[in-house]
Structure formats: structure tokens, C-alpha cells
Amino acid sequence: MPRIERLSPRLANQIAAGEVVERPASVVKELLENCLDSGATQIDIQVEQGGVKRIRVRDNGCGIDKEDLPLAVSRHATSKIKELDDLEAVGSLGFRGEALASIASVSRLTLKSAVPESAEGWQVETEGIDMAPQLSPVAHNQGTSVDVVDLFFNTPARRKFLKTEKTEFGRIHEVVRRLSLSHLDIGFRLEHNGRNVHSMNPCSSPAEQARRVASVCGGAFMEQALPIDEQSEHLRLWGWMGLPTFSRSQADLQYFYVNGRSVKDKVVSHAVRQAYQDVLYHGRHPAFVLFLEIDPAWVDVNVHPTKHEVRFRDSRSVHGFIYSALHRVIAQTRPGDSRAMEEPEISSPAISQPEPVQHSFGLREHTNAHIAAGAREQRPEYEAVSQNQIDDAIAKLAGSEPMPSLADAKEDEIPPLGFAIAQLKGIYVLAENAQGMVLVDMHAAHERITLEKMRLAWDGEGLASQPLLVPESFSVSSREADVAEENAETFARLGIQLERAGPETLLVRAVPVLLKQPQVEPLVRDVLSDILELGSSKRIELQINEILGNMACHNSVRANRKLAIPEMNALLREMEITERSGQCNHGRPTWTQMSLAELDKLFLRGR
């Protein structure tokens, strides 16, 4: 066995660089995060040959003092944390104190900086095997600039794994786009090989914020996005979520930020997927730009060297809050709802931190109300109208004489979906509203209406249980048994009567009524797995939703069934007061609108 020896500073930094500096985009990310932490309002990025030849990042932030410059390029030196308590509640994007040292170990790095009201700036370079910093004066305005030249020149094996210049620059461009979304009040300018690629000015109004989001995500996204701003006592979720009809074949338009940090988290992904699961066509992915603000003490950002992952202290509460907020916005979007066309109004372009609290019980109590409700989640706008009122209104409308028409109604009396004119091929309802023509898939629309009625009735009764003739027992791990015992009330709300029969044995005495011939053991194991991983489970509700969806499909009007005009109008009025009526149970759209201007364009009128 060879003797133990201390690694040289350069080799230690190169090993660290293997975690932090994967490619040129990793360098840009680390440098931009330092710029943002410095309080900069304008950041310029210049890249040559996809970042391999040169990366230069310049900001107008607070700068670095002359005495601190040598420390800035040494390992584990930072101004952002000092004690363990600081690490427990990190409020900055960078905090590890190893990025510049790691970058310097695999490139030729020059760091220049000047603090406010200084007569001159200073620069530091790292040279030699021991990476000794060399300090010298330099002309420089307030702020900091970092020049990274010949990336991986001394680690050729790493350089061979890089992709083409176009691919590497594309990844740099994506890093800039992501950070520009999370810091709307900061200007960004990106150049590649001397050509201006992206130039974004600081945003000072909601309209400018919307334009920046459109420049990153595309104008089509903003045209079909719903603004969201939901807040609890200690959590805030704001941003833009795409309409279900604006779905993607890939999850390539999903931006989620926690306190301004771009993250990919399984708890967040699961909550978003569940909120959209009933309105997206199978195999499609939602589009969104969402910002979660949370007390830094409730989220651990020191999980991965690249800081792409986080761990929530109370994942159940965060999952419940995100799911409830998104689900509520989707549910309240109905025909004629103007939320999709509203100018997004965000109170502050910067990420504001909630005031610190002593414990997380308030957070858990707030969001547990949504989790405990399960399928009986609050639906304020929908529950305000009882089913009897709906039926009475439809009966009155269906029997009304004379038939309502657009010509007889005042402009402010025209309903969102207008008045029915005819039925096409026994499949579609043709209607006329104030904007132009409306076309409704009558089976898809009635399928959604039927499902929401069944859900409303089911929500009132809850998940009733049926006892098993022979209770079923099975073995689990001691950890799973502990979780089952601690969450006995959760299982009861799901319609499962579960007991602990031994240190590693569970006994199931009852299951939900709606689940026909359930496989008890796999079902309980799956629910336990969800609780262990996410802190909650909606697996049973999803199965029941699927059953109710199938029942609704079979109980809805079928194609080629002739409807009278009063019946068509009744269908339109019920769509206008039904949650999620823009999509059927399978995620297909239920109606479409064609304005008069679009019709004129189709027939070349006015040319």
C-alpha cells in the first residue's frame, strides 16, 4: 500500500473542478451567480468558440477589495457564509467558495475588480503548480470582470468530451435564459464570437416582465399562459402557467425557481404533474415559469455541488401547497374567463424573502388543510352554485320561448359561448358569440360536465370503505410499518383501514368501495412509497378519478345523437359554470373559438 500524501493545491482544485466545472456552461453559471450575489444590475457575457477559447463576464456590482482578491481564487473562501447557522439558511446563489479556484485550476483565469469610490482597480492571476495568486493594479470601473481563457488546456481528457461549438454555446445560452427569467430586474447581454445574441434590459413594469418571459419562452406561451400569484402564511407561488391546451411533446419549457435558484426537484415535479394530470392529453407535458418563495431555513440547497437540486425540510407541506395552488387556478379557468388574457401583475420583480419564523408548524397546518381534504378540496367559485340550481337553470333555459339569439341580446348579456345555431354531423355544436364563431365537441364537453357532477357528489360523501371478508396481512420493513402507523388517519381518509399487527406486519381490514377487486398489498405498498418519497399520496384518488372518468364517458351524450337548440344552449351554459370544461377527461379540447377577423382573413375580406 503506498504512503498517504497530501494532494497538491492544483490537483485538489482539479478534482473539485470535476464536480463544479463540467463544461463551459458550468463556468458561465458559476460566474453569473457571483455577479447576481454582488448586487449587479447589468451583466455582460462574451463567449468565443462555444466558451472553450474564452469566457468573459463583466458586472457593475459591489466589487472585491484589494486584500480579498487573492482569497477569491483560493478554495473554501467566501463572503457569503461564516458559521454553521448561515449554511442552514443560505440566501445567496453561491456559497461554497470553490468555484473560482476550480475554474482557475483548469484554465487561465484573470480576475479584475474595483470597489465603489476607489481610485483604481486590481487584478489577480493564478500561476504555477501551487497556483500562487499574483496581484497588480489595473484600470477598471466599479464591479468585477472574470476572464477565463483556454478552458481545459491542462486536462485534455476533459476537453475531448466536449460537444461541438454550437452545442456548447447552446447550453451557455440556456443558462443565461434561465437566470434572466429569475432576475427580471437585471439586464443581460450575451455575445458569441463578437456577435450580439441576446440583449435584455432590466424590467421595471409588468408589461416589460411579460415581454422578457416571451423573449425566452416564446410569444405563443405568453398568449396562452395564466398568471398565478398564490400565497399562504409562509409560502408564495407566482409566475405563469401554460393553459392545458398549450402542452408540449417534451418537458422543454418548464422553469421552476426556489428563492431565485433554478432547480429540478422530484417533489415539485410530482405536484405539477398531479395538478395537470386531469386536463392534459396523454404523453404531453405542461409549460410553466414558476417562482416559489420560502424561508431559506426551510430548504437545503447544499445537496449537490452544482446546486441544481434542493431538499425541503417539510416536503409534504410544499407539495400540498404547490398542487393546491396550480389545481385551483386550472379548475377556475372556464369559457369566458379573462384570466388568460389579463396583463400579469407581479408585485415585485425581485425575489423577496419571507420573514423568518421559529418553526414550521404554521406552514404544515396551512397546507395540511388541503391534503386532509383530499378529493374534497375547496372549490369556491364552483361550490357557490348548487347542482339543483344548475339543473333548474338548464330546465328553464331549455323550455324558454322564444329562443335566445345574438340579435335579441344586448352586448353585455351575451354569454361567453354565445347561442347555439346548429348541430354539425351529430358531433359538433355551432354557436355564435360576441367575438365570432364557437365550435363545441358535444361529447367531450358533456363528458367533462358529467365527471365534475359525479366528483361533486363523491366529494360530499368522501371515500367510503368496504370491509374485506378476510383481512389481508403482509410483511413490510420496520420503517414502512412506522410510517403506516404514523399515517393511519391518512389511510383512513383514503378509505383504507390499516393496522399494525407486528413490528414488520400490516393488516388491511377495509378498502375503498369504488375500487373493484383491488390488489390490496401492491396498493398499500405504493401508497407507502409515495408517503416516504413525497410526504403524501394521491394514488387512490387517481384510481377513483379514472373509474369516475370511465363512468362519465359512458354516461355522456354520444356522437350522432340529435340535440334540439334548447339542449345545445343548455350544454353551453353548463360548460360556462363547470370547472376544467375547456378539456375533456382525456385532455382533449372541448371547444374552439374563431373570431370574425379570422373568418374575414380566411375569405380574404377587406383586401
Tens of pLDDT, residue by residue over 259-291, are: 988 888 888 998 999 899 878 887 889 999 999
d(CA 279, CA 135): 60
Domain assignment of residue 25, given as a range: 9-193
Look at residue 307 in the predicted model and tell me its pLDDT.
67
Q: Which long-range contacts (CB under 8 A, 24 or more apart) does 560-566 make?
A: 560/425, 560/426, 560/427, 561/426, 562/423, 562/426, 563/423, 563/429, 563/442, 564/398, 565/403, 565/420, 566/397, 566/398, 566/399, 566/400, 566/403
Identify whether residues 151 and 213 lie together within a single domain: no
Identify whether residues 188 and 99 lie together within a single domain: yes
Task: Kindly tell me if the per-residue pLDDT of 530 is higher than 80.
Answer: no
Let me know if residue 149 belongs to a domain: yes
Sign of CA dihedral 277, 279, 282, 283: negative
Higher pLDDT, 405 or 146: 146
Chain centre distance of CA 217: 14
Single pTM value for the model? 0.71
Q: What is the mean pLDDT of residues 102-116?
A: 90
Residue that the C-alpha cell 386532509 belongs to: 372
The conformation of residue 201, written as its DSSP 8-state character, comes to P
Identify whether residues 185 and 218 lie together within a single domain: no
3-state secondary structure of 295: coil
Residue that the C-alpha cell 449554511 belongs to: 87
Let me know if residue 434 belongs to a domain: yes
Give ∠ CA 421-427-430 in degrees, rounded to 5: 20
Task: Kindly tell me if the per-residue pLDDT of 241 is higher than 50.
Answer: yes
Are the CB atoms for 543 and 495 separated by under 8 Å? no
Let me know if residue 111 belongs to a domain: yes
Q: What is the mean pLDDT of residues 519-523?
A: 80
Let me know if residue 199 belongs to a domain: no
Amino acid (one-letter) located at 450: T
Instruction: Look up the CATH number of the domain holding residue 512.
Output: 3.30.1370.100
d(CA 142, CA 123): 13
Q: What is the mean pLDDT of residues 43-60?
A: 96
Are the CB atoms for 269 and 310 separated by under 8 Å? no
Task: Kindly tell me if the per-residue pLDDT of 57 is higher than 50.
Answer: yes
Give ∠ CA 226-227-229 in degrees, rounded to 5: 135
Task: Kindly tell me if the per-residue pLDDT of 560 is higher than 60.
Answer: yes
Are the CB atoms for 298 and 313 separated by under 8 Å? yes
Task: Kindly tell me if the per-residue pLDDT of 67 is higher than 70.
Answer: yes
Q: What is the mean pLDDT of residues 378-397?
A: 43
Look at residue 361 in the predicted model and tell me its pLDDT.
27
Domain count, the chain: 3
Identify whether residues 444 and 500 lie together within a single domain: yes
Task: Kindly tell me if the per-residue pLDDT of 357 is higher than 60.
Answer: no
Look at residue 383 in the predicted model and tell me its pLDDT.
35
Q: What is the mean pLDDT of residues 393-405?
A: 54
Q: What is the mean pLDDT of residues 161-190?
A: 94
Are the CB atoms for 549 and 245 separated by under 8 Å? no
Q: What is the pLDDT of residues 459-515, one digit of tens each?
A: 666 567 889 888 999 999 998 999 889 888 877 876 788 899 999 999 999 887 766
User: Could you tell me the maximum CA-CA distance found in the chain, to the nearest angstrom?
Assistant: 99
d(CA 220, CA 396): 40
Q: What is the mean pLDDT of residues 403-423?
A: 81
Q: What is the pLDDT of residues 3-37, one digit of tens each?
A: 777 777 777 766 666 667 889 999 999 999 999 99
d(CA 39, CA 61): 5
* Pairing of the two strands 288-294 and 254-258: parallel
Q: What is the pLDDT of residues 360-381, one digit of tens each?
A: 323 333 333 333 333 333 333 3
Identify whether residues 35 and 165 lie together within a single domain: yes
Let me know if residue 269 belongs to a domain: yes
Higher pLDDT, 213 or 313: 213
d(CA 219, CA 223): 6
